[in-house]
């Protein structure tokens, strides 16, 4: 055996013995000729966003605009919502519902029950890769043209059949209540116990939402489930017996 060959054998043996080297050998970077690329991995970014590991982000990274667009318009987003909704239903049907009408399910509106995707898919919005424009977004709300999110609409109907009362708790300002209410009714959300809009002085997302949930519980309601696309829908006090997070890689509300 030549010295060169012996060296090669020893090198391979060392690589196999070391788990780190093994992982490196088994995970080449496709399309980058084996070199590490510096570009952001958008799937990792989305996972970190959904798990609240990345917080207070202002917009979708430019490098991930296409990724987020394909995710939102493709099948994966719908499948992800459907799975959350199915889990929520499995949980809900195992609960004992009291007949006093006080078992409530709290739903957020934007990107939880109603989709703003037709707006977010515009070139001027770029799935959240362009900074938020309140004037343009509010004009979109006035159109009352947001579609329902199918998985959540199905869950809403099933929860009502189980005997839950529905509370919509939204960050939408009360000034847009008429348009939003019209939109919700048009897409199938036809009844609710309460639909709470944000008033002036209500504070940030998490402060506002926990205060309203606290008021619900003080009024005798039991929040058995709570579903939202933002962690600020689900964190804080009086969050509910169980919370469900639906995906939203397009924007962050604290």
- Measured CA to CA, the distance from residue 221 to residue 215 in angstroms comes to 9
Nearest distance in Å: CB 180, Mg ion: 12
Return the SS3 of 129. coil
Does residue 229 bind Mg ion (CB under 5 A)? Answer: yes
Q: Which of residues 111-130 bind Mg ion (CB under 5 A)?
A: 111-112
Nearer CB in complex with Mg ion: 103/111: 111
Nearest distance in Å: CB 233, Mg ion: 6
- Measured CA to CA, the distance from residue 136 to residue 125 in angstroms comes to 9
Does residue 110 bind Mg ion (CB under 5 A)? Answer: yes
With CB under 5 A as the contact rule, the residue among 64, 68, 105, 108 that binds Mg ion is 108
Nearer CB in complex with Mg ion: 103/110: 110
Interhelix angle 150-162/75-93, nearest 10 degrees: 10
Does residue 247 bind Mg ion (CB under 5 A)? Answer: no
Query: Which pairing describes strands 103-107 and 243-245: parallel, antiparallel, or unpaired?
Result: unpaired
Task: Please say whether the beta carbons of 91 and 227 come within 8 A.
Answer: no
Does residue 103 bind Mg ion (CB under 5 A)? Answer: no
Q: Phi first, then psi: what are they for 163, rounded to 5°?
A: 110, 5
Nearest distance in Å: CB 209, Mg ion: 10
Which residues are near Mg ion by CB under 5 A? 108, 110-112, 229
């Amino acid at each position: 055996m030549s010295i060169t060959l012996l060296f090669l054998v020893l090198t391979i043996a060392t690589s196999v013995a070391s788990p780190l080297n093994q992982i490196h050998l088994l995970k080449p970077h496709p399309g980058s000729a084996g070199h590490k690329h510096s570009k952001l991995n958008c799937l990792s970014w989305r996972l970190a966003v959904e798990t609240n590991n990345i917080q207070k982000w202002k917009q979708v990274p430019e490098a991930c605009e296409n990724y987020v667009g394909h995710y939102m318009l493709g099948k994966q987003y719908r499948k992800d919502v459907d799975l959350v909704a199915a889990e929520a239903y499995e949980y809900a049907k195992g609960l004992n519902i009291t007949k006093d009408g006080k078992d409530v399910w709290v739903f957020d509106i934007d990107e939880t029950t109603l989709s703003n995707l037709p707006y977010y898919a515009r070139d001027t919005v770029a799935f959240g890769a362009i900074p938020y424009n309140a004037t343009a977004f509010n004009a979109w709300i006035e159109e009352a043209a947001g579609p329902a999110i199918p998985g959540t609409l199905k869950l809403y109907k099933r929860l009502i059949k189980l005997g839950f009362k529905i509370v919509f708790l939204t960050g939408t300002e009360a000034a847009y209540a008429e348009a939003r209410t019209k939109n919700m009714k048009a897409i199938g959300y036809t009844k609710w116990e309460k639909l709470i809009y944000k008033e002036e002085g209500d504070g940030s997302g998490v402060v506002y939402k926990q205060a309203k949930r606290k008021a619900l519980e003080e009024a005798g309601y039991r929040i058995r489930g709570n579903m939202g696309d933002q962690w600020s829908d689900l964190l804080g006090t009086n969050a509910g017996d169980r919370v469900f997070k639906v995906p939203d890689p397009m924007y962050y509300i604290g």
